[in-house]
């Protein structure tokens, strides 16, 4: 029975009423409404999933089902309390917390005296000594006590409804703050993703630049090797040229020395022959000597 339900299970029962009425029309399922997946529905979840009007409709149907299950005697028994009070909060406050600002959904306060009781009292007044009058008075007294208890209960329910209304406002504010925090987190995540994307792009570009620099360095190294080989070849060629030049100088010195020796030999032998030789022959020999000194080695 509902008297044994806790406040959370009462909200769960209200969620079942949602699925039976409003949820099916909206195409929602219980797991879609139960956002935190704890197996129970809260006021915030009902309002978030169905809107305020849908939540009111579902909870009204829940109250109707509860009234069908409980008889009037059971509802007014147990010291005037209709629901099990858990932690100072009755199950009936679940509906009152959401329906409190709807004039049509406010619970009507019970009347102090019923119409039947008044009629019985009127009929019983003429005969004060009769047993009927005593029973009527007893019923009137009980009705008065019930009315007072109901009045106190209504007052208490009104306070609890106000408290629940404040809790709903606080929950709405927390939900709004959570929504803003989620939006901020999503924006930051997008910014981090963009930054990471740019960093990856820069890293890729730097890697390509490093590869190009490495290839350029390899080309420079190859060019240096070729230049070194060419320089070695130049040095070898230069040494060969120096050696050939030295050999040419030696040959030139040998030629010069041979010329000097020939000149010396000619100078020592000519004077003795001038006295006995023919002047024409002497002239030819002198001419030959001049040509030899000038580099002409051929005869006339």
Sorted by where each begins, the domain ranges of the chain are 1-107
- Percent of the chain at pLDDT exceeding 70: 60
Percent of the chain with pLDDT over 90: 16
What sign does the dihedral 42-48-51-52 (CA atoms) show?
positive
142-173 exposure pattern, b = at least 16 Cβ within 10 A, e = fewer: ebeebbeebeebeeebeebbeebeeebeebee
More confident residue, 149 or 2: 149
Tens of pLDDT along 194-211? 999 999 999 999 999 999
Distance of CA 73 to CAs 34, 147, 247, Å? 35, 14, 144
Average pLDDT of the segment spanning 223-237: 91
CA dihedral 47, 52, 56, 57 (to 10 degrees): -100
CA dihedral (152, 154, 156, 158) positive or negative: negative
- In tens, the pLDDT along 4-49 reads 445 555 555 665 665 555 554 455 666 666 677 776 667 777 777 7
Mean pLDDT of 122-142: 66
Q: What is the pLDDT of residues 57-113, one digit of tens each?
A: 777 766 666 665 554 445 445 544 444 333 333 444 444 544 444 444 444 333 444
Residue 275 is predicted with a pLDDT of: 55
* pLDDT value of position 212: 92
- In this prediction, residue 270 carries a pLDDT of 54
Buried b (16+ CB within 10 A) or exposed e, 48-85: ebbeeebbbbbbbbbbebbeeebeeeebbeeebbbbbe
Distances (CA, A) of 70 to 2, 163, 192: 8, 26, 58
Contact indicator for 135, 95 with CB cutoff of 8 Å: no
What does the H/E/C string look like for 265-296? HHHHHHHHHHCCCCHHHHHHHHHHHHHHHHCC
More confident residue, 58 or 222: 222
């Amino acid at each position: 029975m509902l008297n044994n339900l806790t406040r959370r299970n009462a909200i769960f029962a209200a969620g079942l009423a949602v699925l039976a009425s409003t949820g099916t029309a909206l195409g929602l399922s219980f797991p879609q409404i139960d956002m935190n997946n704890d197996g129970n529905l809260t006021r915030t979840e009902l309002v978030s999933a169905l809107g305020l009007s849908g939540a009111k409709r579902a909870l009204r149907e829940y109250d109707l089902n509860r009234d069908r299950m409980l008889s009037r005697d059971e509802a007014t028994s147990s010291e005037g309390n209709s629901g099990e009070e858990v932690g100072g909060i009755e199950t009936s406050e679940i509906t009152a917390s959401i329906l409190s600002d709807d004039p049509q959904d406010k619970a009507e306060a019970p009347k102090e005296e019923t119409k039947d009781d008044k009629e019985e009292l009127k009929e019983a007044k003429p005969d004060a000594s009769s047993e009927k009058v005593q029973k009527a008075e007893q019923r009137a007294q009980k009705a008065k006590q019930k009315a007072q208890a109901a009045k106190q209960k209504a007052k208490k329910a009104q306070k609890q409804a106000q408290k629940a209304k404040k809790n709903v406002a606080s929950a709405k504010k927390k939900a709004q703050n959570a929504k803003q925090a989620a939006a901020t987190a999503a924006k930051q995540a997008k910014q981090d993703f963009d930054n990471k994307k740019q960093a990856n792009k820069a890293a890729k570009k730097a890697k390509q630049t490093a590869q190009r620099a490495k290839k350029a360095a390899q080309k420079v190294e190859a060019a240096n090797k070729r230049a070194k080989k060419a320089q070695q070849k130049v040095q070898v060629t230069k040494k060969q040229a120096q050696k050939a030049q030295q050999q040419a100088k030696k040959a030139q010195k040998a030629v010069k020395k041979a010329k000097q020796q020939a000149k010396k030999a000619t100078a020592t032998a000519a004077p003795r022959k001038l006295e006995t030789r023919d002047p024409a022959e002497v002239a030819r020999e002198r001419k030959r000597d001049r040509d030899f000194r000038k580099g002409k080695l051929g005869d006339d």
